[in-house]
Amino acid sequence: MEKVIILRYAEIHLKGKNRGYFERMLSMNLEKSLKGLRHELHRTSGRWLVEKFEEGREGEIAGRVSKVFGVHSYSVGLLTGSELDEIYAAAKLVAPQSGSFKVETHRGYKKYPLTSPEISAAIGGRLLAGNPNLKVDVHAPDSVVYIDVREHGSALVFGEFGAGAGGMPVGSAGKGLLMISGGIDSPVAGYMMAKRGLTVELLHFHSYPYTNDGAKEKVVTLSKLLSPYTQVTRLTTVSVTRIQEEIHAKCANELNVTLLRRFMFRIAERLARERGYQCLITGESLGQVASQTMEGMTSSNAVVTLPVLRPLVGFDKDEIIERAKAIGTYETSILPYEDCCTVFLPEFPATKPKLSFVEEEEGKLDVEKLVCEAMQTAETIAF
Ligand code: ATP
Ligand code: MG
């Protein structure tokens, strides 16, 4: 008998001719998540088993694999032989000490001499006889002992289902570049797109020396918090200090943020093209702040041709905060810091910038030169 972790994925996503592709992605991502821990990963009909890990490590392993997108549920269980005595020995360890229970059996191996209900009845009866504090309740039991009889004379016995992260395996839907600030929204946006299968790389703009190293550190921390989900491996930082100074010196004050955004999008697109990323991702939500209006988004979109994904566009701030808390980025996001957007922030930023006015003001700048100079400041941190 051996302790194992059973992982299930939603077959609905994996049917058809792409199934092998998704399964390979998922197994690769599971292997990545288990790096550094002794284990073996085996696929059996419609699920994975993590086996041969060190004793006592199951909590840590379950914690890691449950964050891998594509895993819908997991159970810590026992892998044993399929003789009734062996199943019973495992069931005794899985069964509760008291209260009501039932046994539910699934028979992958159809030639097993007993039917599923017969196995359930036999094991349930023995558990009951062995512990006077138990009683059977097939309709609303406190606990369930699950038995899965498999081919090759083995069986799985387990008691609980834990929720996995859901979604699609990261890497199965292409690659995107997340513009990440130190705020609450962008990490959540990255999480959501990774959950749909995008590989997400990160780009952060800073205005050093107006913003300090604390701001960058914060983004590094956020990136690391996201990485068990997104498997992020790289964060690129780019300075927009020169750009902000130029905008501040030469352009209409109320367009500071609008114009800076357009530069951010241009730089992001250039980096994405250099590295083969297919879309940009932001944490914008319609109407949340002055620059996140239809006009603001139109003005940013006008300078790029890659699709811009804004997964939070229809979310309320409350909903975003709830998600940030659930994925564990909220506490870091609310630490005080200077974002480059708050440096040079005008008192009354334009909420409905007209594209023609934006372009006219931008005409006062050497856009190409500023973008190229900014690209020279790019630094990539690998995790
Ligand atoms: P967030 O909580 O993500 O910071 P926000 O509500 O503060 O969002 P803005 O500051 O207007 O909104 O930024 C909108 C989006 O633009 C962010 O979600 C992010 O995708 C991008 N962005 C803003 N500032 C930066 C930055 N310094 N570096 C990279 N991307 C940024
Ligand atoms: Mg922000």
Distance 1 CA to ligand 2 centre (A): 52
Confidence of residue 307 (pLDDT cuts 50, 70, 90): very high
Confidence of residue 190 (pLDDT cuts 50, 70, 90): very high
DSSP state of 54: P
Distance 381 CA to ligand 2 centre (A): 21
End-to-end Cα, the chain, rounded Å: 38
Give tens-digit pLDDT for 153-169: 999 999 999 999 999 99
CB of 288 sitting under 6 A from ligand 1: yes
Confidence of residue 8 (pLDDT cuts 50, 70, 90): very high
Q: In this model, does residue 14 exceed pLDDT 90? A: no
Confidence (pTM): 0.90
CB of 221 sitting under 6 A from ligand 1: no
Residue ranges per structural domain of the chain: 2-163, 175-382
Give tens-digit pLDDT for 47-74: 899 999 999 999 999 999 999 999 999 9
Contact 152, 80 (CB under 8 A): no
Place of tokens 């998922």: 26
Contact 145, 102 (CB under 8 A): yes
Sequence-ordered list of residues with C-beta below 8 angstroms from that of 110, at least 6 positions apart, any chain:
none
Q: In this model, does residue 318 exceed pLDDT 90? A: yes
The topology under which CATH files domain 175-382 is Rossmann fold (3.40.50)
Place of tokens 């914690």: 63
Beta strand 379-382 with 234-239 is: antiparallel
The half-sphere exposure of 137 on its side-chain side, counting CA atoms within 13 A, is 11
Which has the closest alpha carbon to 153: 88, 99, 82, 80? Answer: 82
Phi, psi of 127 (to 5 degrees): -60, -45
Distance 35 CA to ligand 2 centre (A): 33
Give tens-digit pLDDT for 113-130: 999 999 999 999 999 999
CB of 291 sitting under 6 A from ligand 1: yes
Beta strand 279-281 with 175-179 is: parallel
The CATH code of the domain at 2-163 is: 3.30.2130.30
Cβ atoms within 10 Å, residue 300: 24
CB of 229 sitting under 6 A from ligand 1: no
